[in-house]
Amino acid sequence: MKQTFVMPAILLAVLGASSNAMAADDKLADAIQTRQAGYKFMAWNMGKIKAQAVDGSVAFNKDQVLSAALAIKGIANSGMGALYLPGTDTRSAPVKTRALPDLFDPKNTPERNKIGQNFVQQANKLADVAAGGDQAAIKAQFGEVGKACKACHDKFREEDKK
């Protein structure tokens, strides 16, 4: 009889540990998917600004460009750093991510913060410039935001890394 009680206890312990691991993985997966959602939504809005103020493939509409810039500004200022939890890099993440381990390395904290703060500043400036409605100024500042995005992609994102 002892065996029959010991076995379920071990099984329960294993299942319990597995269930805790699952909950932790869910939390990490959700953080990754939430930051990806933020970037995807910003990219959509960058695309609208590009089409209207840079390429001219869509007629320039000041209100639409401003709305797009404000969406980017709102997302950029929402504290996305909190979504970069330990265990969410390419080496350890439970779901697909392109965030390289270097991004989480404490020795890179100053550079990471500088890149992140510059991105927020450039996004804020894009919203200010968009409110002015000057298409040439929006085009120029769109370029600055693009450079700010690329600074992080080049350094800390898989595939784009040189």
Where along the sequence are the contacts to a second copy (CB under 8 A)? 33-34, 36-38, 40-41, 44-45, 64, 67-68, 70-75, 77-79
Q: Which is nearer to a second copy, 71 or 137 (CB)?
A: 71
Distance CA 8, CA 35 (A): 40
| Nearest CA-CA partner of 97 in 25, 30, 158, 21 | 158
Cβ partners under 8 Å of residue 154, min gap 6:
160, 161, 162
* Distance of closest approach, residue 133 Cβ to a second copy, in angstroms: 17
Provide the minimum distance between the beta carbon of 1 and a second copy in the complex, in angstroms, as a whole number. 44
Residue with Cβ nearer a second copy (72 or 93): 72
CB of 43 vs a second copy, minimal distance in Å: 8
> Which residue, 9 or 59, has its beta carbon nearer to a second copy?
59
Helices (H) and strands (E) in the chain, counts: 4, 0
